[in-house]
Amino acid sequence: MAKGMREIKRQIKSTQNTKQITKAMEMVSAAKLRRSQLAAEAARPYADKLKEVVASIAAGTKGVKHPMLQSREVKKTGYLVITSDRGLAGGYNANVLRKVVNEINEKHKSTSEYTIFVIGRKGRDYFSKRNMPISEEVTGLPDAVQFSDIKTIAAKAVTYFEDGAYDQLFLVYNQFKNAITQIPTVKRLLPLEDVTGTTAAAYEYEPSPEGVLEVLLPKYAETLIYSAVLEGKASEFGARMTAMNSATKNATKMISSYTLAYNRARQASITQEISEIVAGANASS
């Protein structure tokens, strides 16, 4: 009985230690989530203004032609997938990876029909183990991610499309709604058909509208990628905060259950000792 009680006490102690860790991780994720939300919100006005300028040029320039605005026959597709470097974030990575794999299985018959750009160690490891084609990868992003951290992979994803390496590019990431809800999203990035058709504003461009468009279109696409990365970071911290909150609650329930079992075992041990004392007293009399 004493051995059983010692084992239960060890389980209680171990679960209490785990609870302290999950509670601390929950609080840290909550703080990081707030900063990530602010960063994502701060990036939106720049992306919106850039889209407005690009749309204005495209609408005001007759017969504008640029590879990033032209649809072509789809022979190969690119996917830029945003995951995290660390786990313990509930279904954050599993959901987005399941989304992109389903998309690939539905649209492609062989690995020659698509290529993957991946951000995050979890995604990199997942695709590598399944021998899926990875063109570029980025891991080890900081929590407060800057545009310079993803500039290289974003620029390459856009350049490969312009050079004809593939005919369309999709962003796959978790869209942030709130701390509890993150929506796995597949969004077509290239070609940029949604920027045309806007009434042109009264702007003058140097050296020419076409020349400005040549610079702004890649920058706009890269900005959309950066915005998706910021959304992904906010989603990651929201998912981790929720997961750690659930883990803390489960640990509390387990501690209560172990404590109840310990008290019952202790009560049984005391009862047994009293019974032995009474039996000994009766025998001596």
pLDDT score of 199: 52
Question: Would you give the distance in Å from CA 95 to the centre of its chain?
Answer: 9
pLDDT score of 62: 59
Express each pLDDT in 183-229 by its tens digit: 999 999 998 866 655 555 566 767 777 777 888 888 889 999 999 99
pLDDT score of 201: 55
CA distance 149 to 260: 51
Omega before residue 207 within 30° of 0, cis:
yes
Mean pLDDT of the region 24-32? 94
Express each pLDDT in 236-253 by its tens digit: 999 999 999 999 999 999
Domain ranges of the chain: 27-242
pLDDT class of 41 with cuts at 50, 70, 90: confident
CA distance 29 to 23: 10
Return mean pLDDT, the chain.
Answer: 88
Residue 86 has pLDDT above 70, yes or no: yes
Return the DSSP state at 181.
-
pLDDT class of 168 with cuts at 50, 70, 90: very high
The more confident residue out of 27 and 270 is 27
What global pTM score does this model have?
0.85
Percent of the chain with pLDDT over 90: 61
CATH annotation of 27-242: 3.40.1380.10
Mean pLDDT of the region 7-32? 94
* Cβ(226)–Cβ(150) below 8 Å: yes
CA distance 36 to 285: 78
